[in-house]
Amino acid sequence: MAKILVTGAAGFIGFHLSNRLLARGDTVVGLDNLNDYYDVRLKEARLARLEAHPGFRFVRMELSDRQGIESVFAEGGFDRVVHLAAQAGVRYSITHPHAYVESNLVGFVNILEGCRHGGVKHLVFASSSSVYGASTRMPFSIHDNVDHPVSLYAATKKANELMAHTYAHLYRLPCTGLRFFTVYGPWGRPDMAMFLFTRAILEGRPIDVYNYGKMRRDFTYVDDIVEGIIRVADNIARPNPDWTGDAPDPGTSSAPYRNYNIGNNNPVELLHLIEVIEDALGKKAEKILLPLQPGDVPATYADVDDLVRDVGFKPATSIEEGVGRFVAWYREYYGC
Ligand SMILES: NC(=O)c1ccc[n+]([C@@H]2O[C@H](COP(=O)([O-])OP(=O)(O)OC[C@H]3O[C@@H](n4cnc5c(N)ncnc54)[C@H](O)[C@@H]3O)[C@@H](O)[C@H]2O)c1
């Protein structure tokens, strides 16, 4: 049994993670500012379910509130921190760059400082497949260079990895960065393609299909993401004894710092995803084919060898199974 701070607990992944931690007997403090980047009622509904559990306590707070975050850590006594709260979304970062600086950079320093002074034994934080940016070498490996982000969102996630590495080096704070690949499932995010497509098809509206449907994404079911987070959080980051500055491996370090990809290792073309959703809904989509959007990458594909080797887990939920569960949740939740 551990006491764990989960930031972004009212968010999609934070909600599922908190549920799993509570179910295994951990105590969870969930932090979130319940911002209106997407439908706040969905966040409140997730939160209401978590608050029904006696092992859960909610703190409504803004990550960039330095004193507030200091007090959360001063009172916390957290064994581990899973930091998921962030301004998410690639496209929104084109129009709202400052939101990413506040939440993902200023907020991240506050979390690092809290962990450092609060004696936290392991900080696990959400990075993203988007850090691979302009890289086209597939599958994406944590041992590859990722110095060419193509959106500010990706740049802030890469910056988080660098900032955490510094704290691991200077203060021996064990840190692990997790690069999630397009996560989907029940209680998912209304700004993401699967949700937008499902809603539009059910309402008889056309869907915008970028890169003419040729986009490939390593869609990863949320339960697989949560399993990966929990296994990694329980396996505290240690220095890699083979690491050398003469040939610096980007994925590990002489400091207690690690990166992992968590992805399905099985990319799916957008047009196929749409067929799977159509099958699950029993209704055809009307597609508007459009070019690639600024900031988007045409393909993602996760190499998960390090995850499998270190924690013995490989995501395996098929897109058909996962979409079936998402659509079933959507229809029940929205009564349609
Ligand atoms: N869902 C994906 O496909 C995906 C892929 C790669 C990485 N990620 C990362 O995983 C993490 C969780 O993503 P998610 O899909 O659950 O997103 P989400 O938006 O559903 O959850 C994030 C939560 O953090 C909260 N939050 C945002 N800014 C905050 C701030 N300044 N202060 C306090 N709370 C704040 C939001 O209110 C939200 O509830 C994020 O860091 C995201 O960047 C997600």
Q: Which CATH superfamily is domain 3-182+221-264+302-316 in?
A: NAD(P)-binding Rossmann-like Domain (3.40.50.720)
Q: Which residue has the tokens 């439908």?
A: 39
Residues with a known catalytic role: 153
pTM score, two decimals?
Answer: 0.98
Question: What phi-psi label fits residue 206: left (phi over 0), alpha (psi between -120 and 50 degrees) or beta?
Answer: beta
Q: Which of 18, 33, 36 to mutate to test the pocket of ligand 1 (most atoms within 8 A of CB)?
A: 33
Substitution candidate for ligand 1 out of 6, 31, 35 with most atoms within 8 A of CB: 35
Q: For atom 42 of ligand 1, which residue has the closest CA? A: 88
Domain ranges of the chain: 3-182+221-264+302-316
Backbone angles phi, psi at 251, to 5 degrees: -90, -15
Strand blocks (E) in 107-200: 122-128, 175-180, 183-184
pLDDT value of residue 321: 98
**What's the pLDDT at 284?**
98
- Whether residue 268 contacts residue 305, with contact meaning beta carbons closer than 8 Å, is answered with no
DSSP designation for 174 = -
DSSP tag of 140? B
Task: List, as one string, the DSSP characters of 255-319.
Answer: SSEEEEEE--S--EEHHHHHHHHHHHHT-PPPEEE-PPPTT--SB--B--HHHHHHH-------H
4 lines ligand 1 (CB under 6 A): no
84, 11 contact by CB (below 8 A): yes
Any bridge partners for residue 268, and if so which?
A: 217
Q: What confidence score (pLDDT) does residue 200 get?
A: 98
Please give the pLDDT value at position 288: 97
> For residue 248, how far is its CA from the centre of ligand 1 (angstroms)?
30
Confidence at residue 1, expressed as pLDDT on a 0 to 100 scale: 85
Radius of gyration of the CA atoms of the chain, in A = 19
β-partners of residue 7 are 31, 83
Q: Which residues of the chain, if any, have pLDDT below 50?
A: none
Nearest CA to ligand 1 atom 10: 126
Q: What is the atom index within ligand 1 of the atom nearest the CA of 107?
A: 31
Helix, strand, coil in percent for the chain, rounding step 5: 45, 15, 40
Index of the ligand 1 atom closest to the CA of residue 43: 39
